[in-house]
Chains A and B, each alone.
Chain A
Amino acid sequence: MRLSALLLIALRSLARNKLRSFLTMLGIIIGVGAVIAMLSVGQGAKSMVQTSIAGLGTNVITVFPGGGSPGSVRTEAGTSSRFTEDDVEAVRREAEGLRYITPTARVSAQVKYGGQNWRTSIFGAYPEYLQIRNWSPAEGIPYSLSDERGAAKVALLGKTVADNLFGDGANPVGQTIRIKNLPFRVIGVMEAKGQGSFGQDQDDIIIAPYSTVQKKLIGGSYAQNLTASAVSEDAIPEASAQIDDVLRRRFRLGGGDTPDYTIRTQTEIAAAAGSVSQTMTILLSSIAGISLLVGGIGIMNIMLVSVTERTREIGIRLAVGAKGRDILLQFLVEAVVISFFGGLIGVALGAGASTFLSSVQGWAVKLSLSSILVAFLFSAATGVFFGWYPARKAARLNPIDALRYE
């Protein structure tokens, strides 16, 4: 029998029991809708995490005080290992896998310009910090090595700080602001970075030379963290081992001692984030899979009913010459039509839900063609899989028994 004829039979039979067909479809609709919505939410979250990790910089390695191994007692950050500029220079000299390295220090302070007040973080680092983070001023220029050496009172403002002190759109370059009552010359405003991985505002910051922040604002000599960048992505593990090597020697640690600092690489952070998003994806897809399974069982159930109801029709068709294959196809096509239309409506519903989540709830949502195709394919496969048994049951009916069926 021609496929067009089979389709016509299927559509008529479904139209005959509209409510029943719709309820059967509903299982698939919900299943596919869930798959689409879950996949787009999952992918949206994943790409958001990826962007924020990429925003950390290129091949970044961070060293911070405190033991990293789980189970060990973690002391308060800053009270264990303390990094000096000599440590930094030693690492710079000996760790060949590194391109840049800088100590960092951060202090919170009130910043004033004219009558405006703003509380923010002042972040001190060597000029190369901007290279590590792939970050450059949108206006003005970065500070130089001589600013660093001379502990010059220059500042690069984050976008948020600039907006709050100077008002939107004004150019603060060349103006003088006061941090802890000390005058700082604004030499640039950084490009906007937006939200970080934990939702914090990365632009609410002032960047200044490390020596300036240490000497003039903190009055200490120990770095809080070390931030470095490896020569290439492949060199990250090696570079991180080299850093460990140098620091162990300088802190006189044996091979078996647990260092009280932690080295964290961007790859590790990405891997951790990746495994979180993978877990989430697996979780979401299994929920979606279960709803498709339930929908499929619904199809199977209704197809079995349909085969029983139409036993006589099957008998008539067999009597006039239908082969087992013709009957099998007839019912299979019907099951696939249910799941196909269910899938179609489900895709529309899932896409609608995704759009709703992104526009009303502000979730990061990424609706991709591949997820639509996957969901669609799955629903069609569900139709074939769950339609097969009832269809085969119909095809195997004995013509004479089917004709006599009351």
Chain B
Amino acid sequence: MGLPGGTEGLSNGAGDPPIVAVRGLAKTYTMGEVTVEALRKVDLEIARGEFVAISGASGSGKSTFMNILGCLDTPSGGLYLLDGSEVEALSRDELSLVRNRKLGFVFQSFNLLSRTTALENVELPLLYRKDTRPAENREKAMAALRAVGLGERFHHHPNQLSGGQQQRVAIARSMVNDPVLILADEPTGNLDTRSSIEIMGLFQGLNAKGITVVLVTHEPDIASYAGRLIVFRDGKVIRDERNPAPLRAAEELARLRPSEKIT
């Protein structure tokens, strides 16, 4: 991608199109006779290489926004350009292809396949490609697991791993297909402080390699690891600001260590 490795990625080349561009994005749900406007004409751009945290109260529309960004849900109106191409008019199968090639997901509840080894979980996105060989897939999946520090535990099943380890498997899965955008929905919601910081460290590392990361969180200290903070309320963006000094996971971990020793 030829990107500068910075975390604050807005200042990259002028000609480079944003990775995400939405114009007048709207989503309405109809439940019986009640119509809920989850998103009301959202305009937003996320540049290549950014690390964005989205927060807001529940019902603010942030999850809906994430699902649309992730091509898991389709908007009711407006325009969505992902990596320069329109996606709102794509068919189900075309959306699957986009998710498979361009996106990676990390969920709060990990969403790993139980009774399937870590390695096979990571391999999963590659199995839905037709252009790769099984041996190649295995190698790539192993490399991704090593990158999240679980190379030794590739044959473990999710129920043999701690929450933090499971989330690291999920991150390995999200990066195995070399996505341009990783979407993380409350990835630290089920984790203790230490694991949370480790996970944030992984995201910062991926971001440093040029992958755009969008993270939904309601925890301010987690959001402060990102370079940009967007706040939703009632289906609209009410705040969009740069974080001039994001926390660094490595430093935070180092700071955590002495206090751990005391307890």
> Contacts A1-B128, A312-B111, A326-B128; is A320 near B173 (CB within 8 Å)?
yes
Query: A92 at interface (Cβ–Cβ under 8 A)?
Result: no
User: Would you call A321 and B97 a contact (CB within 8 A)?
Assistant: yes
Query: B124 at interface (Cβ–Cβ under 8 A)?
Result: yes
User: Would you call A320 and B72 a contact (CB within 8 A)?
Assistant: no
User: Would you call B127 and A323 a contact (CB within 8 A)?
Assistant: no
Q: A162 to B129, alpha carbons, bound, how many Å?
A: 81
User: Would you call A323 and B111 a contact (CB within 8 A)?
Assistant: no
Which of B56-97 touch A at CB < 8 Å?
67, 70, 72-73, 92-93, 96-97
Q: A325 to B92, alpha carbons, bound, how many Å?
A: 11
Q: B25: shortest Cβ distance to chain A, in Å? A: 16
Query: A49 at interface (Cβ–Cβ under 8 A)?
Result: no
Provide the A265-280 mask, 1 if CB < 8 A to any CB of B, else 0: 0000000000000000
User: Would you call A321 and B111 a contact (CB within 8 A)?
Assistant: no
Q: A215: shortest Cβ distance to chain B, in Å? A: 93
User: Would you call B107 and A321 a contact (CB within 8 A)?
Assistant: no
User: Would you call B73 and A321 a contact (CB within 8 A)?
Assistant: no
Q: A373 to B24, alpha carbons, bound, how many Å?
A: 61
Which residues of the partner chain A approach B173 to less than 8 Å between Cβ atoms? Answer: 320
Which residues of the partner chain B approach A325 to less than 8 Å between Cβ atoms? Answer: 93
> Contacts A320-B128, A323-B96; is A403 near B72 (CB within 8 Å)?
yes
Which residues of the partner chain A approach B67 to less than 8 Å between Cβ atoms? Answer: 400
User: Would you call A319 and B128 a contact (CB within 8 A)?
Assistant: no
Which of B100-147 touch A at CB < 8 Å?
100-101, 105, 107, 111-113, 115, 124-125, 127-129, 134
User: Would you call A320 and B100 a contact (CB within 8 A)?
Assistant: yes
Which residues of the partner chain B approach A319 to less than 8 Å between Cβ atoms? Answer: 70, 72, 99, 105, 111
Q: How large is the interface on A (under 10, 10 to 19, 20 to 34, 35 or more residues)?
A: 20 to 34
Which residues of the partner chain A approach B93 to less than 8 Å between Cβ atoms? Answer: 323-325
Query: A16 at interface (Cβ–Cβ under 8 A)?
Result: yes
> Contacts A318-B96, A319-B72, A319-B99; is A403 near B107 (CB within 8 Å)?
yes
User: Would you call A403 and B111 a contact (CB within 8 A)?
Assistant: yes
Which residues of the partner chain A approach B73 to less than 8 Å between Cβ atoms? Answer: 398-400
Q: B116: shortest Cβ distance to chain A, in Å? A: 8
Q: A317 to B124, alpha carbons, bound, how many Å?
A: 8
Q: A400 to B64, alpha carbons, bound, how many Å?
A: 10
User: Would you call A320 and B125 a contact (CB within 8 A)?
Assistant: yes
Q: A248 to B134, alpha carbons, bound, how many Å?
A: 86
User: Would you call B115 and A321 a contact (CB within 8 A)?
Assistant: no
Query: A119 at interface (Cβ–Cβ under 8 A)?
Result: no
User: Would you call B115 and A320 a contact (CB within 8 A)?
Assistant: no
Q: A61: shortest Cβ distance to chain B, in Å? A: 70
Q: Which residue of B lies closest to A316 (CB)?
A: B111
Q: A152: shortest Cβ distance to chain B, in Å? A: 89
User: Would you call A321 and B125 a contact (CB within 8 A)?
Assistant: yes
Q: B95: shortest Cβ distance to chain A, in Å? A: 8
> Contacts A16-B115, A400-B67; is A322 near B128 (CB within 8 Å)?
yes
User: Would you call B107 and A320 a contact (CB within 8 A)?
Assistant: no
**B99, B101, B112, B134 — which one has the most chain A CB atoms within 10 A of its CB?**
B99
- Residue of B70, B113, B127, B129 touching A316 (CB-CB under 8 A): B113
Provide the A48-88 mask, 1 if CB < 8 A to any CB of B, else 0: 00000000000000000000000000000000000000000
Query: A313 at interface (Cβ–Cβ under 8 A)?
Result: yes
Q: A385 to B56, alpha carbons, bound, how many Å?
A: 48
Q: A325 to B128, alpha carbons, bound, how many Å?
A: 11
Provide the B208-221 mask, 1 if CB < 8 A to any CB of A, else 0: 00000000000000
User: Would you call A2 and B72 a contact (CB within 8 A)?
Assistant: no
Q: A322 to B107, alpha carbons, bound, how many Å?
A: 17
User: Would you call A321 and B128 a contact (CB within 8 A)?
Assistant: yes
Q: A333: shortest Cβ distance to chain B, in Å? A: 14
Q: B40: shortest Cβ distance to chain A, in Å? A: 20
Q: A328: shortest Cβ distance to chain B, in Å? A: 11
Which residues of the partner chain A approach B127 to less than 8 Å between Cβ atoms? Answer: 1-2, 5
Q: B27: shortest Cβ distance to chain A, in Å? A: 11
Query: A18 at interface (Cβ–Cβ under 8 A)?
Result: no
Q: A322 to B127, alpha carbons, bound, how many Å?
A: 9
**B93, B115, B124, B127 — which one has the most chain A CB atoms within 10 A of its CB?**
B127
Q: B51: shortest Cβ distance to chain A, in Å? A: 21
Q: Which residue of A lies closest to B176 (CB)?
A: A320
User: Would you call B101 and A313 a contact (CB within 8 A)?
Assistant: no
Q: A317-B128, A322-B128, A325-B93 are in contact. List 8 more A-B contacts (CB 8 A).
A: A2-B127, A317-B124, A318-B99, A320-B125, A321-B100, A321-B101, A324-B96, A399-B72
- A–B complex contacts, Cβ < 8 Å, 24 sampled: A1-B127, A2-B134, A312-B111, A313-B113, A316-B111, A319-B72, A319-B105, A319-B111, A320-B100, A320-B105, A320-B125, A320-B128, A321-B96, A321-B97, A321-B101, A321-B125, A324-B93, A324-B96, A398-B73, A399-B72, A400-B67, A400-B73, A403-B72, A403-B111
